[in-house]
A and B are shown apart, each in its own frame.
Chain A
């Protein structure tokens, strides 16, 4: 067998074929179709009769870049990524450190409790959070009133809606990153800490010079996954605010959904999707580059 490499290759193909076929049909084909779609004006008319479809080149992209609504959505999405992303990573790391700390009692319980929101359906979570955020009867405003803060219309006020969404999203998602951080923390050999302690390093120095550098790869992974996920924020504003008030929580994916499934401008919506893809790709490249430049 070993002396007939072509047989090896063909049997490798045979084993790979089912998986490749599935990926091609359910992944690459739709992406390619969407790319084609983004150069057409596929809309409600074309849906009824394909004679009414036009190829319009880059018009969708040009229109998109001229549309104030797209820039609003992009600004909101960046707000969500820039504020929510670091917040989520920071809180996950903090929670991971607390859960793995030797003094913590019942670490299993806390790990499960912090992870619970991740596996809860978002719609159920959103219903509960809408109660928490209710301007008059909400728990949050009640707690704030105890320290003398005036009631805030969390989801109705244009300035508070996005922070409210971020808060909920971070609470919902941080458990996942926490689990990954815990795995990363457990991979750090304990001898290093022992050695550092003998050298007289305190808790902060141990964290700064052992934990953080050795968590590097985990950090990169978590930061990337969070960024990619947060760029695609959709369900939170869709369920909580429908993009309002005054478009302040309209995200790029929500815009894509509205264009595609509310107005049925599939061509335009596909263009939105590809612009978002380009942005995420650029963001990922940038992060990888920044990491690589750091001395390991």
Chain B
């Protein structure tokens, strides 16, 4: 090929690009703004039902929902951030917020929230809203809430003399000891899957443990308060009240719950729906929920705006719309997710759900986990060492010392950043 034809080809393609660009621009003005919205699992599927109304109210905005499976959501968001392909609006677990703040991936919302009436913010469960704030700024707004509490078999508890759920751990222990005597080799009182970190952490928070120390720079797991909670957790296994199994080993928890293999289970709101669907009719009216004696975790999912999005104003309109109490109530009906706005709880469908009431009560007593990006890893280590201690592959002191050592290593970068006075 001669140089001449090469140059011609170059010119030709330049013209072509210019033409395409002009076509692209020409109609942009009268074309609606498309807001890219990522939501996870069933939320991503069900939220579509709320959107026609939004698009009717804002004819110049169109919403494109991308549904991401929960199991891959965290990775997808990080990869999108690394690849500069963030959606304009996205759902994220509220424990991920510190991480995305560290990445500088989120747009602060305070300036926009100034236009809100103060009652609107006060309408959120305060403990949950707090997890969306970091360094005196609001980075996301709660979409739905999540915490852990007791699911129990009311008939079995009545059989051992508790017609009302116990209100203290001592009473729960007594009830569980009696449940265990109901007989049968395969009978336990409570199911605590060993690979879950939540209950040991909840027990520690109830003891007033801080989990980490010195501005979250070191692990604080050999602290007497954490140790006490840990010992209590292990005793549930040692006394045979809880079976030493992890999630994978329970073939079907609903079936086991129905046949009384265990009568108490600490779990979250999604199981209200699951229990309703999966338990056989014979036990449908024989179970109930009850708040924990003390605080529980401030969980849930939030909605946030991407800092780099050129469509933040449109995305914010969508966020505001999804935060309205009416939409929150509708979303509850679609998904069973508990609304983050307390006024949405007076909607008939939710007010009449007897299983949800304990959650409303518990949500007034929730506490966040340490707001640092490393938390998810730390929680993973807690579950790991708790499992080793349950299996007696490590003594309590060995496990806690090893946990502190691991966590100190995980937090090494954070300490370095703070020492350099770089914001982590």
Contact = CB atoms under 8 A, between A and B. Distances in A.
Interface of A: 41, 43-45, 47-49, 51-52, 54, 63, 135-136, 153, 155-157, 241, 244-246, 261-264
Residue of A135, A157, A244, A263 most packed against chain B (CB within 10 A): A263
Residue of A45, A47, A262, A263 most packed against chain B (CB within 10 A): A45
A262 B74 contact: yes
Query: DSSP class of B's interface residues: helix, strand, loop or mixed?
Result: helix
Nearest to A261: B75
Contacts of A156: 248-249, 251
Cβ-closest 9 pairs across A and B: A48-B103, A156-B248, A245-B248, A261-B75, A156-B249, A48-B104, A135-B251, A244-B248, A44-B373
A246 B393 CA distance: 13
Contacts of B252: 136
Given A156-B248, A245-B248, A49 B104 contact: yes
A264 B251 contact: no
25 contacts: A41-B413, A43-B413, A44-B99, A44-B103, A45-B413, A45-B417, A47-B78, A47-B81, A47-B103, A49-B104, A52-B413, A52-B417, A54-B416, A155-B248, A156-B248, A156-B249, A157-B249, A245-B246, A245-B249, A246-B246, A246-B387, A261-B78, A261-B79, A262-B75, A264-B78
Given A135-B251, A153-B251, A44 B102 contact: yes
B377 interface: yes
Interface in B337-384: 373, 376-377
A263 B377 contact: yes
Query: DSSP class of A's interface residues: helix, strand, loop or mixed?
Result: loop
Interface of B: 74-75, 78-79, 81-82, 99, 102-105, 195, 246, 248-249, 251-252, 373, 376-377, 387, 409, 413, 416-417, 422, 424
Contacts of B413: 41, 43, 45, 52
B422 to A, nearest CB: 6
Given A48-B105, A52-B422, A263-B377, A153 B416 contact: no
Contacts, number: 55
Contacts of B99: 44
A68 B233 CA distance: 25
A9 B306 CA distance: 53
A245 B373 CA distance: 26
B104 A51 contact: no
A263 B374 CA distance: 9
A242 B104 CA distance: 30
A47 to B, nearest CB: 6
A47 B82 CA distance: 7
Nearest to A262: B75
A167 to B, nearest CB: 18
